[in-house]
Amino acid sequence: MERKINRREKECEEKHSNSEGSEQDKEYKTSLITLNVGGYLYITQKQTLTKYPDSFLEGIINGKIMCPFDADGHYFIDRDGLLFRHILNFLRNGELLLPEGFRENQLLAQEADFFQLKVLSDAVKSRWEKEQLASRETTFLEITDSHDRSQGLRIFCNAPDFIAKIKSRIVLVSKSRLDGFPEEFSVSSNIIQFKYFIKSENGTRLVLKEDNTFVCTLETLKFEAIMMALKCGFRLLTSLDCTKGSIVHSDALHFIK
């Protein structure tokens, strides 16, 4: 008799625990929301979408805003499906994190306004203004003789990231040509100074090592800069020093997109 009672108690406990588990499963499943944004499906948690009160997404999830459903019963939002990735990442992370080279600030700001996320909208617009300001500022790279800064080449461009890229390329070329003699030149924020940077008899400036071993011409570095700029979509403006009569002989190059 006692065994039967114990067995019944055990069965009741199992049923109770199973019912609790099923209720938890149901609650977890209902917390997952699938959105169809412009044909792109996104699955996320309810708490993510309702993070900002009075936002468009919070209004949909809590029934304040009517939203159509697609054929599969998912919320359908007729907006840019690709850009929604950044909206959702902002809701998840609480900050604006965009991939390197992102150029759709204006479109993303419009999406943020539509979804009524003022914090995101302000962050995008601030980022956009900083990029526009940076694009108007001309930066430069100077390749020169450490003893005479009038001898050399100056590269001007309105894209700081390109100046950094071209500097690293020229340093790489110079190191390979100098073959283990990095002390022959020094690098600062906007200047590459060669220790031995002299003019030959025919007027071509040469980069030489202390023992007069030939390394490369300044024109070699100049053509490196021009080819890199063209490959990156920049165009070469008129030489800043028109008295030279030729790009090859000019002391300055100006690139712009």
- Say whether pLDDT at 214 is over 50: yes
187 strand-pairing partners: 192
pTM of this prediction?
0.49
Q: In 3-state terms, what secondary structure has residue 141?
A: strand
Q: What percent of the chain has pLDDT over 70?
A: 63
Q: How confident is the model at residue 238 (pLDDT cuts 50, 70, 90)?
A: low
Please state, rounded to an integer, the average pLDDT across all residues of the chain. Answer: 77
Query: What is the per-residue pLDDT across 31-81, written as a single tens digit (0 to 9) for each?
Result: 899 999 999 999 999 999 999 999 999 999 999 999 999 999 999 999 999
- Say whether pLDDT at 224 is over 60: yes
Residue positions counted in the chain? 257
- Residue 88 token pair: 């959702």
Q: In 3-state terms, what secondary structure has residue 160?
A: helix
Query: What is the per-residue pLDDT across 183-208, written as a single tens digit (0 to 9) for each?
Result: 667 777 777 777 665 555 554 555 55
- CA-nearest of 208, 143, 153 to 181 is 208
Q: How far apart are CA 241 and CA 257, in angstroms?
A: 20
Helix (H) / strand (E) containing 35: strand 32-37
- Say whether pLDDT at 134 is over 80: no
Helix (H) / strand (E) containing 166: helix 160-178
Q: What is the pLDDT of residue 190?
A: 77
Q: Once rounded to an integer, what is the mean pLDDT over residues 6-33?
A: 57
Query: What is the per-residue pLDDT across 82-116, written as a single tens digit (0 to 9) for each?
Result: 999 999 999 999 999 998 778 899 999 999 999 99
Q: How far apart are CA 105 and CA 257, in angstroms?
A: 18
- CATH 3.10.450.50 describes domain 21-132: no
Residue scoring higher pLDDT (40 or 165): 40
Domain locations along the chain: 21-132, 138-254
Q: What is the DSSP string of 72-137?
A: TS-EEE-S-TTTHHHHHHHHHHSS----TT---HHHHHHHHHHTT-HHHHHHHHHHHHHHHHHHHS
